[in-house]
Amino acid sequence: MSTSHTVRLGFCACLATVACSDGAPRLRNVSYAGLDEKLGSETPTPLVIGILGDATGPGASTGRPFLDVLRTTFEAASPIAGRTIQIHVFDDRSSTEGVRAASARFESDPGVAIAIVAPGAERAAVLAESAYRTPIVCVGCEDSAATREGTFVFRTADSSSAPTRAVEWILAAVGDSRVLDGRHIAAGLRTHVPPGATVVEGRAPARDPNLFRDPKSASTRP
């Protein structure tokens, strides 16, 4: 046996049996429960929300209030089910080129679990194509904004309440799920439709039928 091994084994034996110089036992009857709890604990994954809308440009007069309502409502609800909420705002600058540029930035932003789109079928369609793995909710849009499975239009009779009610709907959908993938989020959005709201999901198939629907029911519609 090498000297290093001899020293190590001897040290371990001393820890188990040797008392301190003041007579107090060393490492006898030590509880490791606290350490086990710390090592075994898992911090829930943050809920990252991407929002696409007019933060600047000609549409900012209506776009900024919409974005502000969404952001402040989400922040007031954080945390949800132990998850902190992070908001990423993507400014499309009220232009077609801006929509495409913002959608490209969105796609490169890791960790976004779900996207919310300000009213506008064009921006919803562009984002749905770019971020094809992400569930998308277009608030106050026409049905044409829902272009594929996993894209949803959310409307209420009182359009002014649509943003806050959409936030409540989304939080209910993700709050009881430990898995933040597209399939589980889309299932929650289908299940938790609030009374008095209209929810329309796109009917075109996703690139992968398993992205937003359980494989057993991928070929069926509710």
pLDDT tens digits for range 110-160: 789 999 999 999 999 999 999 999 999 999 999 999 999 999 999 999 999
Domain ranges of the chain: 47-206
pLDDT at 218: 46
Helices marked H in the chain: 3-17, 33-40, 60-77, 96-108, 121-130, 162-175, 182-191
pLDDT at 94: 93
How many other β-carbons are positioned within 10 Å of the β-carbon of residue 101? 15
pLDDT at 58: 93
Which residue ranges of the chain lie beneath pLDDT 50? 2-19, 24-32, 35-38, 218-222
pLDDT at 176: 72
CATH fold for the domain made of 47-206: Rossmann fold (3.40.50)
pLDDT at 109: 82
pTM for the model stands at 0.78
Is the separation of the CB atoms in 142 and 152 below 8 Å?
A: no
pLDDT at 219: 45
* Sign of the torsion angle spanned by Cα atoms 83, 87, 150, 200: positive
pLDDT at 177: 74
